[in-house]
Amino acid sequence: MANAAEHLADLAGDAGDHAEESLRRRASELQKFFDDVEELLRKVSNVNDADIARLRRKVEGSIERVKSATRYSVEQAMEGTRRAARATDEYVHENPWTAIGVSAAAGLVAGAILCRR
Protein backbone atom coordinates (compact mmCIF):
# COMPACT_ATOMS: atom_id res chain seq x y z
CA MET A 1 0.00 0.00 0.00
CA ALA A 2 2.74 2.44 0.93
CA ASN A 3 4.63 1.73 -2.30
CA ALA A 4 1.60 2.51 -4.47
CA ALA A 5 0.90 5.70 -2.52
CA GLU A 6 4.53 6.77 -2.77
CA HIS A 7 4.54 6.01 -6.49
CA LEU A 8 1.41 8.12 -7.02
CA ALA A 9 2.89 10.92 -4.91
CA ASP A 10 6.07 10.78 -7.00
CA LEU A 11 3.97 10.98 -10.18
CA ALA A 12 2.18 14.04 -8.83
CA GLY A 13 5.50 15.67 -7.98
CA ASP A 14 6.88 14.87 -11.42
CA ALA A 15 3.79 16.37 -13.06
CA GLY A 16 4.26 19.54 -11.01
CA ASP A 17 7.93 19.71 -11.96
CA HIS A 18 7.06 19.23 -15.64
CA ALA A 19 4.44 21.98 -15.52
CA GLU A 20 6.88 24.32 -13.79
CA GLU A 21 9.58 23.62 -16.40
CA SER A 22 7.07 24.27 -19.18
CA LEU A 23 6.20 27.62 -17.63
CA ARG A 24 9.88 28.51 -17.32
CA ARG A 25 10.43 27.62 -20.98
CA ARG A 26 7.52 29.81 -22.10
CA ALA A 27 8.74 32.68 -19.93
CA SER A 28 12.18 32.30 -21.51
CA GLU A 29 10.66 32.45 -24.99
CA LEU A 30 8.74 35.60 -24.06
CA GLN A 31 11.91 37.16 -22.68
CA LYS A 32 13.65 36.40 -25.98
CA PHE A 33 10.83 38.13 -27.84
CA PHE A 34 11.07 41.18 -25.58
CA ASP A 35 14.83 41.29 -26.08
CA ASP A 36 14.37 41.23 -29.87
CA VAL A 37 11.78 44.04 -29.77
CA GLU A 38 14.01 46.10 -27.50
CA GLU A 39 16.93 45.58 -29.89
CA LEU A 40 14.76 46.78 -32.75
CA LEU A 41 13.81 49.85 -30.72
CA ARG A 42 17.49 50.59 -30.06
CA LYS A 43 18.24 50.33 -33.78
CA VAL A 44 15.59 52.93 -34.67
CA SER A 45 16.40 55.21 -31.74
CA ASN A 46 18.65 57.40 -33.86
CA VAL A 47 15.93 58.10 -36.45
CA ASN A 48 14.84 61.72 -35.98
CA ASP A 49 11.20 61.32 -36.92
CA ALA A 50 8.72 62.58 -34.29
CA ASP A 51 6.17 59.87 -35.10
CA ILE A 52 8.78 57.12 -34.74
CA ALA A 53 9.98 58.60 -31.43
CA ARG A 54 6.41 58.74 -30.12
CA LEU A 55 5.71 55.19 -31.28
CA ARG A 56 8.98 53.99 -29.76
CA ARG A 57 8.06 55.44 -26.34
CA LYS A 58 4.62 53.86 -26.60
CA VAL A 59 6.08 50.43 -27.44
CA GLU A 60 8.64 50.70 -24.62
CA GLY A 61 5.83 51.43 -22.15
CA SER A 62 3.80 48.51 -23.49
CA ILE A 63 6.78 46.18 -23.21
CA GLU A 64 7.31 47.12 -19.56
CA ARG A 65 3.62 46.56 -18.73
CA VAL A 66 3.56 43.20 -20.51
CA LYS A 67 6.81 42.11 -18.84
CA SER A 68 5.42 42.96 -15.44
CA ALA A 69 2.13 41.17 -16.11
CA THR A 70 3.97 38.16 -17.53
CA ARG A 71 6.26 37.91 -14.51
CA TYR A 72 3.27 38.05 -12.20
CA SER A 73 1.33 35.45 -14.23
CA VAL A 74 4.27 33.06 -14.35
CA GLU A 75 4.86 33.42 -10.61
CA GLN A 76 1.16 32.81 -9.91
CA ALA A 77 1.03 29.79 -12.22
CA MET A 78 4.15 28.29 -10.69
CA GLU A 79 2.83 28.81 -7.18
CA GLY A 80 -0.49 27.24 -8.19
CA THR A 81 1.34 24.27 -9.65
CA ARG A 82 3.34 23.85 -6.44
CA ARG A 83 0.19 24.06 -4.30
CA ALA A 84 -1.58 21.50 -6.50
CA ALA A 85 1.38 19.12 -6.32
CA ARG A 86 1.56 19.48 -2.52
CA ALA A 87 -2.19 18.96 -2.15
CA THR A 88 -2.06 15.90 -4.41
CA ASP A 89 0.87 14.50 -2.48
CA GLU A 90 -0.92 14.99 0.84
CA TYR A 91 -4.16 13.49 -0.50
CA VAL A 92 -2.39 10.43 -1.88
CA HIS A 93 -0.63 9.84 1.42
CA GLU A 94 -3.85 10.26 3.40
CA ASN A 95 -6.06 8.25 0.99
CA PRO A 96 -3.84 5.78 -0.89
CA TRP A 97 -6.59 3.33 -1.84
CA THR A 98 -8.85 6.06 -3.17
CA ALA A 99 -5.97 7.45 -5.21
CA ILE A 100 -5.17 3.99 -6.55
CA GLY A 101 -8.84 3.46 -7.48
CA VAL A 102 -9.09 6.81 -9.24
CA SER A 103 -5.85 6.15 -11.11
CA ALA A 104 -7.07 2.71 -12.17
CA ALA A 105 -10.40 4.13 -13.35
CA ALA A 106 -8.64 6.88 -15.29
CA GLY A 107 -6.40 4.26 -16.89
CA LEU A 108 -9.40 2.17 -17.90
CA VAL A 109 -11.16 5.19 -19.42
CA ALA A 110 -8.01 6.22 -21.30
CA GLY A 111 -7.53 2.64 -22.52
CA ALA A 112 -11.15 2.44 -23.69
CA ILE A 113 -10.83 5.72 -25.57
CA LEU A 114 -7.57 4.66 -27.22
CA CYS A 115 -9.01 1.25 -28.20
CA ARG A 116 -11.92 2.91 -30.01
CA ARG A 117 -9.55 4.74 -32.33
pLDDT value at position 35? 85
**Whether 7 contacts 26, CB under 8 Å:** no
Give the other-Cβ count within 10 Å of 85's Cβ.
Answer: 19
pTM summary value: 0.49
Give the other-Cβ count within 10 Å of 56's Cβ.
Answer: 17
pLDDT higher for 19 or 41?
Answer: 41
Is 10 a residue whose pLDDT tops 80? no
Model pLDDT for residues 93-113, shown as the tens digit of each residue: 888 888 888 888 888 998 889
**Whether 44 contacts 52, CB under 8 Å:** yes
Report the percentage of the chain scoring pLDDT > 90: 1
- The amino acid present at 49, given as its one-letter code, is D
Distance CA 30, CA 3 (A): 40
